[in-house]
A and B are shown apart, each in its own frame.
Chain A
Amino acid sequence: MTSLNVPINDPIELSAPPSLQFESVEFNPFGHQLFGPCSFKLDGPGPTLVMGPNGAGKSLMLRLAHGLLTPTEGAVTWSGDGAPRQAMVFQTPVLLRRSALANLTHALAVNNIPRRLRTDLAREALARFGLSASADTPARVLSGGEKQRLALARAWALSPAVLFLDEPTSALDPAAIKEVETAVQEFHERGTRIVMTTHDLHQARRLAGDVLFLAGGKVQEHTPSNVFFDTPVSRQAQAFMSGELVA
């Protein structure tokens, strides 16, 4: 297997996923307090599901953690030396105007994977997510579910130690949702730290190891999933849960 020789595919199953810490992180561009101040630590086995009403700061939290946004105050730190290899899957998958295969080889190329290994790694990832038949199809004419799987395959090929997912299933039908959830489980089993936002309580129940509940740009609760779903501690989480159940 080629992948054994590649540093990017070093087995990371054995070591625990890197832990992520927010230290009084705030994000307030132009004086608008959009997030924080927040302090928490993600060091459990996960997956961590980030929940909360619209405008709670879920997406902001992911972007701050991933480094797409820089905190105005405070710091985002990782265990180990520097930030680990990370990938993010967006609500609307961002795909290049090229074939499915070329989308993956491009991502590998910008991560400095030697040219001779790229195609094999890319095909391996496509096969894992059931996209082998679509390798030469332009990525942007794939169906919604296939696009999201391609985005996951791209992340897979990069062997991230941490994977962020921003409501990856909100626009998908049940079959596609199931495929994405299976993929998330696979990442989890490979030892990748999963941090995922969702609106879907059922999905959160299926996937979550722990739940980070946000409201008003602040962390209201960070508890193991069984605690969160059975006896939520914070008033906001109780309201959120009952609101969902009533609806």
Chain B
Amino acid sequence: MEENAFYVALSLLVNLDASLYQIVVLSLQVSLLAVLIAAALGFPLGAAVALWQFPGRGGVIVALNALMGLPPVVAGLGVYLLLSRAGPLGELGLLFTPSAMVIAQVILVLPILAALSRQKVEELLGEYREQFVSLGMSRACMMPTLLWDARFALLTVLLAGFGRASAEVGAVMMVGGNIDGVTRVMTTAIVLETSKGALPLALGLGIVLLTLVMVINATAYILSETAKRRMG
């Protein structure tokens, strides 16, 4: 049975099975969009915390670091309460749509991107600060320079965020509902298919997910090595 399931899984993959393909594409769409939104918000936020001194800065840093470990089901619950019919954003009718899943993943990924980019930018600022002040740069002017010069480190951070988004199951299950053809992604499908005993599809998805994680990590490694060699 087990071995059988494995071969069936492989044949599903090789033949680009329609339902499997759809699930993989939706997973990528949701997680990529979530990571892009989180990056657009999180990188400037991280850089701002690194650059500006303000009351409560220490608290913000601790909060960002702590939220890196936010349990997905808690994020899911929060978004669920916000978007449910009775919730403050219920009017939008977003619950059980891919949009809701994107929102939940943004909340999960944002602290990771903000906290890690804060660290990277702060390191770089330590090196650059005197030169920047000498050039007469304002803090607002330093931010884009620092973000660009930290680009390779930030790409690794981005991939870490994508890994978190694509691998999590609790939040998307709660706010997406795992609806076939609408909000079913790889992780929720694996949970469902396994509990139904439909191991081939679950295994096939598992293989895709694992491969994806491997590719992400390999990319991160190659990028950081290339950057080190080329840029010094």
Binding site for B on A (CB under 8 A): 63, 66-68, 86-88, 90, 94, 96-98, 106-107, 110-111, 138-141, 158
Contact = CB atoms under 8 A, between A and B. Distances in A.
B134 A66 contact: yes
Contacts of B148: 98
Contacts of A94: 127-128, 130-131
Contacts, number: 46
A141 B232 contact: yes
Contacts of A97: 149, 151, 231-232
A11 B209 CA distance: 64
A90 B134 CA distance: 10
A228 B145 CA distance: 44
In the A-B complex, the 3 residue pairs with the closest CB atoms = A140-B232, A94-B131, A141-B232
Size category of the binding interface on chain B:
10 to 19
B136 interface: yes
Contact of B136 (A111, A138, A139): A111
Interface of B is mostly: helix
Given A96-B145, A97-B149, A138-B230, A68 B136 contact: no
A87 B134 contact: yes
B137 A90 contact: no
B14 interface: no
A97 B232 CA distance: 8
Nearest to A66: B134
B133 interface: yes
A98 B144 CA distance: 14
A68 B231 contact: no
